[in-house]
Structure 1
Amino acid sequence: MQRIGSFSETMQIKVHTNEEILNELTNLHKKYPHITYLYEIGKSVQGRPLTVLAIGKFPMKHIPGIPEFKYVANIHGNEISGRELLLCLADILLINYGKNEVLTRLVDRTRIHLLPTMNPDGFTEAIPGSYGWLQGRTNAADVDLNRDFPQRLNPTMIRNIQPETSAVMQWTKSIPFVLSANLHDGSMVVNFPYDDGRVEGIEAKTGDHELFVVLSYLYARAHKYMWKKGPRCINQHDDDDLNEGITNGNKWYRVSGQFFSCLLSSNSGIVDGGMQDWNYVFANCFELTIEMSCVKYSTNDQLKEIWNDHKFALISFIEKIHHTISGFVLDEITGTGISDVQISINNLGKVIISSTDGDFWRLVIPGIYNVSFQHFKYETVVKTVTISKKKPYEFLNVTMLRKRHTRNFTEVYLTKSQVFLPLIVLVRRT
């Protein structure tokens, strides 16, 4: 894309083994130690590391005010293009740092986490050049990891979660991620929540449906042809005409209870929920599922074409993390950051939570928003914010006044992804 400009590329585009993936990540870290951090979030069933490369001006830890982004690939071991594209993405972000203005600004203003393989065990069982659905899809315990997250419709079914899933859940909870995508193969479409609805085949809309539609279409439109109307994969398993290259997950097919869950696993403890819904409902993160290619296990030549088709979309999607209402929530007296403040917009959509230092990011599209800040120890604050196409972001420093201990009120307060239900609320409008 002309806006991003030209950039250098040096990564060899080919099918890398698990060991080669780790070597490439290690070499990138050694070459660019000041803007990378290599870390492990856990291990697979067979003991293979789940290794993440973080890229940013301050890569080793969360810096208040800098948003956190993640790409996760290869949750299905036989879907391999994401593994390779994340290596290529890391390569261009690093070798063009200080040379390409857009890429440099992205690295300076964002901490970007890349997990090339969530299912390294499954990859070892996958068959090269395959269009097939099954061989290598599951982990070593024969569990489909994208059916292994707690369900939003039945969140109490939490048992026997696989080590790969548990590692990703703990990782996602430990860092204040704002935006994410998981990379798949098998079609050519951007899938957005909810994946699970009461009735399959109709849209299961979130409270942020319009936002998800915009995010999805922005990715599809930055792809060479994903956004065009027509069948996704001619003469393949999926011949649907998905409008403009995007789809609601449940309208396409329902994750929980659908036939892969039964077919692929004999593990009676399967939880049967998908990763993108879990991110939205149970974490602080908005996530999309991106189907990169019609072929599950692409050849080297196919991977080169897939990379050229997706590279600008992968970059552009990261940029959307800055289309937010963001800032800090501070104690009016001490000036210190307040964590666990519940932040909602127009009383709709996801309630997000301020992080340890009081920083927050709320993804938005153009519109006028009443932004509410609630905490059980503080008086509620409401700010009115206007977001436009010309200025798709707003920064706020919000101060909150502690409630007086003599105030007579009753309230119920649940932290994180639960619900704040004040019975009597004191509101300050500014």
Structure 2
Amino acid sequence: MHLHYLALSIMAAFMTCASAVPIIDFEYHDYVELTYALETLQQMYPEMCDLYSIGQSVDGRELWVLVISGANPEHHTVGVPEVKYVGNMHGNEAVGREMLLQFAEELLFMYGFDDDITRFVDRTRIHILPTMNPDGFEDAAPGCTGVMGRYNRNGYDLNRNFPDYFEENDTPIQAETQAIMDWIETESFVLSANLHGGALLANYPYDNLSPEDKKKANDTSPYSKAPDDDILRHLALSYSQPHPTMHVFNETFCGGSEGGFKDGITNGADWYPVAGCMQDYNYINLGCLELTLEIGCCKYPEEEHLEAYWMENRKSLLEYIKQAHRGVTGIVYDLFGRYIPNAKVTVVGRDNPYPFRTNANGEYWRILLPGIYTIMVEKEGYLSQTQEVLVKNYLYNVEQVDFYLDEGGTSGASILKAIFQIQMLLVFSIFAWRLC
């Protein structure tokens, strides 16, 4: 039996008799240890977190997600944005796996003591998937370079395995990739990031561009600008700036030959084009803004360095994911106050490949920088509607803009007028009958 598992089991047995204390050590957790660590956190904080699996790896290991919320961890709450962190997509890039365990415990342990964390947890539902590639991790070993353990059990790079908007991706969809795709179809994720290692930077969409544009570009790595380039750059900076070294140009060389990165951020394709990446799939297909965070020059550092990595990334992990609380949100209703799901929500002037859409509760979120925007909502069978909104420059003051759509080309005023006329006719009829 693993000593770490034994310690966790003892703690779980006595948790009703003792106050909660931090249990996640600065050490690597294999699959068994990771499972028990997550189970123990869930048992220690049952009112704040829930543990579920989104599927299994090729070898049958569960892809565990710990969800944390001060509102309702088990289910979505209307008005509460869903966010996520994914780690260890490449099995040998292991440091992110441990950072997410530390982050999960930080949110739980400091809730009620740290005002910033408490406010965030009360207003957000946070999903944490520490490892997307548990099979690869079991094959990997400490080391700053190399590829052993990078791929899944079938030998595929999971960050080249998603359907690609720009070009055909004929790699067979892997079990881990399919689990992610199914997961993000069921949750209305607003903001996300996946954690990698081997570099030090925040990478934002697009990661790829069309083959025609590649041929036209003189630069072998052309900038591939997304419609939300301004907010994506802001999100990247929200991670790199609080990090003590990521935003420092000379610190981002990581011993490579390509040079450093200004402010510690880069457009994905401008670094190097990648087809089938997860961040583009999230953003283009689901309307979830996602970044790829390279959080250290060493892919799999020795355990003695984990605490230092945590201290470097601790603030950035929180500051980044808090950005879900800026911009505009709202609910789309019909004139009878019923939710309208799957309505298109467009920021006029931003031609996203696929429109952002409302969820089953009619909710939408658009993370935006300060400014004046025109929001347009469309749904087949209803008249489209636009509203102008002023977005302010601070968190937790998301503009609430609801829409009430008219059906079938009949204006809301006409409907209300008709209802009023019917009511008045009924009143007059009753009055006339009584006079008789």
More strand by share: 1
TM-fit CA distance, 1:365 = 0.6
Structure 1 residues 87 and 210: CA distance shift in structure 2, 3 A: same
Cα pair 2:374 2:389 within 8 Å, conserved: yes
Q: Which residue of 1 aligns with 2:358?
A: 354
Structure 1 residues 17 and 175: CA distance shift in structure 2, 3 A: same
Cα pair 1:137 1:144 within 8 Å, conserved: yes
TM-fit CA distance, 1:131 = 2.0
Cα pair 2:251 2:260 within 8 Å, conserved: yes
Greater shift, 345-354 or 334-343, is seen at 345-354
* Separation (CA, whole Å) in 1 of partners of 2:295 and 2:119: 26
* Separation (CA, whole Å) in 1 of partners of 2:341 and 2:83: 20
Q: Which residue of 1 aligns with 2:310?
A: 307
- Provide the TM-score with structure 2 as the length reference: 0.84
TM-fit CA distance, 1:139 = 0.4
Q: Which residue of 2 aligns with 1:174?
A: 186
Cα pair 1:194 1:248 within 8 Å, conserved: yes
1:165 maps to 2:193: no
* Separation (CA, whole Å) in 1 of partners of 2:302 and 2:35: 20
* Separation (CA, whole Å) in 1 of partners of 2:22 and 2:189: 28
Q: Which residue of 2 aligns with 1:116?
A: 130
* Separation (CA, whole Å) in 1 of partners of 2:198 and 2:30: 20
Aligned to 1:230, what secondary structure does the other structure show?
helix
Q: Which residue of 2 aligns with 1:409?
A: none
Q: Which residue of 2 aligns with 1:423?
A: none
Cα pair 1:187 1:238 within 8 Å, conserved: no
The CA deviation string for residues 209-250 of structure 1, in whole angstroms up to 9 with x for no partner, is: 11111110111001112111225144x346521111000000
Q: Which residue of 2 aligns with 1:248?
A: 267
Q: Which residue of 2 aligns with 1:189?
A: 201
Structure 1 residues 373 and 75: CA distance shift in structure 2, 3 A: same
TM-fit CA distance, 1:132 = 2.2
The CA deviation string for residues 320-349 of structure 1, in whole angstroms up to 9 with x for no partner, is: 0011200111111x1011101101112314
Structure 2 residue aligned with 1:61, among 75, 79, 84? 75
What one-letter code is carried by the residue in structure 2 that aligns with 1:210?
Answer: D
What one-letter code is carried by the residue in structure 2 that aligns with 1:37?
Answer: D
What one-letter code is carried by the residue in structure 1 that aligns with 2:237?
Answer: Y
Structure 2 residue aligned with 1:222, among 239, 242, 256? 242
Instruction: Give unmatched runs, 5+ long, in structure 1.
Output: 1-7, 257-272, 407-430
TM-fit CA distance, 1:160 = 2.0
- Number of residues of Structure 1 aligned to a counterpart in Structure 2: 379
Aligned to 2:250, what secondary structure does the other structure show?
coil
* Separation (CA, whole Å) in 2 of partners of 1:68 and 1:389: 21
More helix by share: 2
Cα pair 1:208 1:349 within 8 Å, conserved: no
What one-letter code is carried by the residue in structure 2 that aligns with 1:139?
Answer: N
* Separation (CA, whole Å) in 2 of partners of 1:152 and 1:241: 29
Q: Which residue of 2 aligns with 1:294?
A: 297
Q: Which residue of 2 aligns with 1:379?
A: 383
* Separation (CA, whole Å) in 1 of partners of 2:41 and 2:246: 30
Aligned to 1:222, what secondary structure does the other structure show?
coil
What one-letter code is carried by the residue in structure 2 that aligns with 1:401?
Answer: D
Structure 1 residues 51 and 377: CA distance shift in structure 2, 3 A: same
1:25 maps to 2:41: no
* Separation (CA, whole Å) in 1 of partners of 2:350 and 2:195: 28
Identity %, equivalent residues: 36
1:83-98 correspondence to structure 2 within 5 Å: 83-98=97-112
Cα pair 2:87 2:129 within 8 Å, conserved: yes
Cα pair 2:161 2:171 within 8 Å, conserved: no
Aligned to 2:93, what secondary structure does the other structure show?
coil
Structure 1 residues 116 and 327: CA distance shift in structure 2, 3 A: same
What one-letter code is carried by the residue in structure 1 that aligns with 2:203?
Answer: N
* Separation (CA, whole Å) in 2 of partners of 1:40 and 1:53: 9
Larger radius of gyration between Structure 1 and Structure 2? 2
Q: Which residue of 1 aligns with 2:160?
A: 147
Instruction: Give unmatched runs, 5+ long, in structure 2.
Output: 1-20, 215-219, 412-436
The CA deviation string for residues 59-115 of structure 1, in whole angstroms up to 9 with x for no partner, is: 111111111000000000000111101111111111111221111111111100000
Structure 2 residue aligned with 1:72, among 86, 105, 112? 86
Structure 2 residue aligned with 1:201, among 210, 214, 221? 221
What one-letter code is carried by the residue in structure 2 that aligns with 1:14?
Answer: E
Aligned to 1:378, what secondary structure does the other structure show?
coil
Structure 1 residues 160 and 118: CA distance shift in structure 2, 3 A: same
